[in-house]
Amino acid sequence: MNQTIKTMLNHRSIRKFSGEKLTSDQKEMILKSAMQASTSSHVMAYTIIGVTDDHLKSDLRAVSGHPHVENNGHLFVFCADLQRNYQVTAADKEESVKQNIESTEQFIVATIDATLAAQNASIAAESMGLGICYIGSLRNDIKRVDELLELPEYVIPLFGLAVGHPDHKPEIKPRLPLEAIYHENKYDDDKYKQGQLVKEFDRYLKTYYQSRSTNKKISTWTEQMENKYKVPTRMDVTPFVKSKKLNLH
Stretch that binds a copy of itself, among 65-73, 152-160, 162-170, 208-216 (CB under 8 A): 152-160
Could you give the CA distance from residue 5 to residue 38 in angstroms, rounded to a whole number?
Answer: 19
C-beta separation of 140 from 238 below 8 A: no
CB of 54 to a copy of itself, least distance (A): 10
* In the complex, least distance from residue 245 CB atom to a copy of itself, rounded to whole angstroms: 14
The one segment of 15-23, 65-73, 210-218, 234-242 that binds a copy of itself by CB under 8 A:
234-242
Q: Assess 67 for contact with a copy of itself (CB under 8 A).
A: no
| One character per residue 15-34, x = contact with a copy of itself (rule: CB under 8 A) | -------------xx-xxxx
Does position 84 bind a copy of itself by CB under 8 A? yes
Q: How far is the CB of 167 from a copy of itself (least distance, A)?
A: 19
Please select the residue that binds a copy of itself; options are 24, 65, 185, 218, rule is CB under 8 A. 185
Binding to a copy of itself (CB under 8 A) within 187-216 occurs at 187, 189, 192-193, 195, 198
Neighbours of 156 (CB within 10 A): 28
DSSP helix/strand/coil, 173 = coil
CB of 19 to a copy of itself, least distance (A): 20
SS3 for 40-76 is: HHHCCCEEEEEECCHHHHHHHHHHHCCHHHCCCCEEE
- How many residues touch a copy of itself (CB under 8 A)? 113
Q: State the Cα–Cα distance between residues 214 and 208, nearest whole angstrom.
A: 11
Q: With beta carbons less than 8 A apart as the criterion, state whether 114 and 80 touch.
A: yes
- 164 forms bridges with which residues in the sheet? 131
CB of 239 to a copy of itself, least distance (A): 9
In the complex, the smallest distance separating the C-beta of residue 172 from a copy of itself, rounded to whole angstroms, is: 8
Footprint on residues 44-63 left by a copy of itself (CB under 8 A): 44, 46-53, 56
Taking the C-alpha atoms of residue 109 and residue 81, their distance in angstroms, rounded to an integer, is: 10
Spatial separation of the C-alpha atoms in residues 220 and 198, rounded to whole Å: 10
User: CB burial class (10 A; 0-12, 13-18, 19+) of residue 3?
Assistant: exposed
Applying CB under 8 A, among 16, 62, 170, 176 the residue interacting with a copy of itself is 176
